[in-house]
Amino acid sequence: MATTTTPERLFGASIKRREDPRLITGKGNFTDDLKLAGQTFASFVRSPHAHAKIKGIDIRKAAAMPGVVAIYTGKDLTTAGVKSLPCGWLLPDLKLVPHLPLATDAVRHVGDQVAVVIAETAYQAKDAAEAVKVTYEVMPAVTNGEQALKPGAPQLHAEAPGNKSFHFTIGDKAATDAAFASAANVVKQRLINQRLIANAMEPRASVAKYDAGTGDYTLWVTSQNPHVHRLLMAAFVLGIPEHKLRVISQDVGGGFGSKIFVYPEECVVTWAAKAVNRPVKWTAERRESFLTDAQGRDHISDAEMAFDANGKIIGLRVHTVANLGAYLSTFAPLIPTFLYATLLSGCYTIPAIWCEVDGVYSNTTPVDAYRGAGRPEATYLLERMVDLGARALNTDPAELRRKNFIPANAFPYQTPVAFQYDSGNYGPALDKALQMVNYKQLRAEQERLRKEGKYIGIGLATYIEACGPAPSQVAGALGAQAGLWESAHVRVHPTGKVTVFTGSHSHGQGHETTFAQLAADELGLPYEDVEIVHGDTGQVPFGMGSYGSRSLAVGGSAIHSGIQKIKEKGRKIAAHLLEAAEEDIVAEGGKFFVKGSPSRSKAFAEIALMAYLAHNLPKGLEPGLEATSFYDPTNFVFPFGTHIAVVEVDKASGIVTLTKYVAVDDVGNVVNPMIVDGMVHGGIAQGVAQALWEGASYDNTGQPLAASMMDYTLPKADMLPSYDTARTVTPSPVNPMGVKGAGETGTIASTAAVANAVMDALAPFGVTHIDLPLTPATIWKALQGSPKGR
């Protein structure tokens, strides 16, 4: 699969990853691998209750236990000036609630932290944490978003009466109501998008060190965006000067969103490193990941789709209750609003859309971005509704989709829900996917098998993604408390070797390879001459990290822009040395030469050396060859595609077997196809798992029913097939490389594709909808509830 010889152009080549040699030999640098001299270990005392008042904390027994260095409670931290964790996206009527790193008055979800024990060893810290005695007054809990909004529901925060966090609307209500009034057909469905747990394989971890001599803090943390961690922790929580905190995230073992956010633990550990004047390490146990890593999805939606007599979609009306959990995680308000409701036009011309979203607090772990973040929820809703429409109209689901596609000549296309799509051509992706599954023949096969009592289903999802959130000015007007640009610093060394510092962050995406490919190509240098550095606020200019499939479109474009500055300065030096006009100098193939006479040239390395020697530079030009770029995109980019799942449902047991999966994605131009395919594979697995297996539920006292990998069904190798992936290429006009994003497409499309396939298989029994996950039990129950299914 991987290319072994030097390709003409690195951009577009499946080059083996340069990250891998360290990772396949056990030489990675993950946060928990770090061992500092004098290091202590933290263990958190966590609430076993979903909702309770803290009546007292007795640390006496624990404090006397072997190895205990210190024990701190919420009071200790607030006395020392530690403040609430901030929220990074403020909607207009958002009811902000405090979220202290250690709770002081009440706990609001199982796993909420109330104290921390610091000890000589991790085992001793855990022993003592178990001996801290917390007296609770248990209160009634509410875990379901819709229940939390009802009168009389247990109340979580005085600041948010009725547990309401926000009410958000988008679209044109009057126009949508009018569309429904004129509709020939309307389909309605309640859709539950269940709560998921990201479960990156590496648990969260932090190691903090304080240097009493300089007053500098260093925090190694499992972060997708070290500068965001530094800014929020320094400016809002700990009140330490931003420049005195260095945040390092080296190898990070997956994130899928869950490592974007600032969590209580890293704040406590950083504060404690100064308090005990020794390094402090904390690594989550998997149970803690289940209880405290921000979770995903958890929507209850009522959707209606209106069709005219020709099967054209003329309106969509949606009301969604988004369960945000006990506190606002860093970007929680953004996900079910501007990353969800704005996607509800999908790849269709829907003239009128109206969506209302209620954000709700409940006694559950906070909810925030999880791979796809809002976009899978929108796609699932829309694609289920289109399939329900196809069933109601007795139309082939592929043809109904095609009929409603935004035509290729309509781009840039303005939707009724804020977005302007940059580019797209949806028909060819659909055609390719249908061809790959041999659609017509497969439908015939399905008919034949039904007669034999075998039930296969074919499910489509034609999706749109919005990635590389932008531009900063618009985001700011919508409530963002951060810019959405990205930084790059290109440092050319005197020998002509290059180090590129990117504000983007890699936790599996392969930036060290992909970014080196594009930088080497753009500079005309050998791949080996370019090194990529990320994940260290001490080395990299302020950057926004990785989320929302933005790394290449935004971070890569920042590198591209930095390189243009390097070439511009190089041209000045070359023009001076070659005694030519600057506008006549061409920078290409690792050389600077005079247009029309390529023999009059200087190698890139010669120019680099001259820049540093500074013996003969153009008058007024500074020595050195470095450039910093801050790239703020003008728009999101909008990948799209068609995924098709084929399943077989065993009627007697309700067991679903995924027999074939085809993904045709269009992510614009592709730098490293091997890496893009890999990300699509992983995304598909996560989305399939939401459709068939995963789900985080709570009992009526607020106890999580899944708090370990024993009771939360993560997909295993023997539960999944291999996938057939292909691409169409529609470059984005938004950025100089014509790239889009590829990190989330798989997750966005696959849940809907599999759910549609299962409903298609169950069509002969009159089953139209079952909520996820489609476990054997839920399918069996649905069949028992249908006269034809028993």
Partner 1 sequence: MTRITVTVNGSRQHHEVEPRLLLVHYLREQLGLTGTHVGCDTSQCGACTVHLNGQAVKSCTVLAVQADGAEVTTIEGMAKDGQFHPLQTAFWEQHGLQCGFCTPGMIMSAAELLKQNPDPSEEQIRTHLEGNLCRCTGYHNIVKAVRSAAGAMSVSASQATLPQARSRATAGAR
Residue number with CB closer to partner 1 (117 or 200): 200
Question: Are the beta carbons of 521 and 708 closer than 8 angstroms?
Answer: no
Residue number with CB closer to partner 1 (193 or 199): 199
Interface segment toward partner 1; rule CB under 8 A; list 19-27, 138-146, 373-381, 452-460? 19-27
| 195-222 as b/e: b if 16+ CB within 10 A | bbbbbbebbbbbbbbbeeeeebbbbbbb
Residue number with CB closer to partner 1 (121 or 597): 121
Question: Are the beta carbons of 566 and 625 closer than 8 angstroms?
Answer: yes
Interface segment toward partner 1; rule CB under 8 A; list 187-195, 295-303, 711-719, 728-736? 711-719
For residue 336, count CB atoms less than 10 angstroms from its CB and return exposed for 0-12, middle for 13-18, buried for 19 or more.
buried
Q: How many residues does the chain have?
A: 790
Interface segment toward partner 1; rule CB under 8 A; list 21-29, 95-103, 241-249, 619-627? 21-29
Residue 4 interacts with partner 1 (CB under 8 A): yes or no: yes
Of 95, 173, 246, 287, the one binding partner 1 (CB under 8 A) is 287
Question: Are the beta carbons of 749 and 379 closer than 8 angstroms?
Answer: yes
d(CA 383, CA 171): 19
* Residues 119-138, interacting with partner 1 (CB under 8 A): 122-123
Cα separations in angstroms, 43 against 51, 115, 206, 281, 651 = 21, 9, 12, 9, 48
Question: Are the beta carbons of 391 and 210 closer than 8 angstroms?
Answer: no
Q: How far is the CB of 129 from partner 1 (least distance, A)?
A: 15
Residue 718 interacts with partner 1 (CB under 8 A): yes or no: yes
Residue 203 interacts with partner 1 (CB under 8 A): yes or no: yes
For residue 408, count CB atoms less than 10 angstroms from its CB and return exposed for 0-12, middle for 13-18, buried for 19 or more.
middle
Residue 510 interacts with partner 1 (CB under 8 A): yes or no: yes
Token readout for 547 is 């989320």
Residue number with CB closer to partner 1 (202 or 298): 202
Residue number with CB closer to partner 1 (260 or 679): 679
Site string for partner 1, 64-103 (x = CB under 8 A): ----------------------------------------
Residue 677 interacts with partner 1 (CB under 8 A): yes or no: yes
Place of tokens 């992510």: 667
Of 204, 507, 569, 572, the one binding partner 1 (CB under 8 A) is 507
207 DSSP β-pair partners: 220, 281
Count of residues interacting with partner 1 (CB under 8 A): 69
Q: How far is the CB of 202 from partner 1 (least distance, A)?
A: 4
Site string for partner 1, 728-767 (x = CB under 8 A): ------------------x---------------------
Preceding amide of 773 cis, omega within 30: yes
Residue number with CB closer to partner 1 (463 or 723): 723
Interface segment toward partner 1; rule CB under 8 A; list 405-413, 639-647, 677-685, 752-760? 677-685
Residue 528 interacts with partner 1 (CB under 8 A): yes or no: yes
Of 256, 485, 515, 636, the one binding partner 1 (CB under 8 A) is 256
Q: How far is the CB of 1 from partner 1 (least distance, A)?
A: 6
d(CA 673, CA 690): 26
∠ at Cα 197 (193, 202), nearest 5°? Answer: 155
Q: Is 415 helix (H, G, I), strand (E, B) or coil?
A: coil
Residue 32 interacts with partner 1 (CB under 8 A): yes or no: yes
Residue number with CB closer to partner 1 (624 or 776): 776
Q: How far is the CB of 20 from partner 1 (least distance, A)?
A: 5
Residue number with CB closer to partner 1 (16 or 454): 16
Residue 674 interacts with partner 1 (CB under 8 A): yes or no: yes
Residue number with CB closer to partner 1 (399 or 528): 528
The DSSP line for 305-336 is EEE-TTS-EEEEEEEEEEEEESS--TTTTTTT
Residue 280 interacts with partner 1 (CB under 8 A): yes or no: no
Residue number with CB closer to partner 1 (571 or 727): 727
Q: How far is the CB of 152 from partner 1 (least distance, A)?
A: 39
Minimal CA–CA distance to 521: which of 487, 489, 553, 567?
A: 567
The DSSP line for 179-248 is HHHT-SEEEEEEEEEEEE----SSPPEEEEEEETTTTEEEEEE--S-HHHHHHHIIIIII---GGGEEEE
Number of Cβ within a 10 Å radius of residue 18: 16
Of 201, 212, 309, 477, the one binding partner 1 (CB under 8 A) is 201
Residue 448 interacts with partner 1 (CB under 8 A): yes or no: no
Residue 723 interacts with partner 1 (CB under 8 A): yes or no: yes
Place of tokens 């977005």: 419
What stretch of H or E contains 171? strand 164-171
In the complex, the residues that contact partner 1 under the rule CB under 8 A are 1-4, 6, 15-28, 30, 32-33, 35, 122-123, 199-203, 251-254, 256, 283, 285-287, 507-510, 513, 527-528, 674-675, 677-679, 681-686, 708-710, 714-718, 720, 722-723, 746
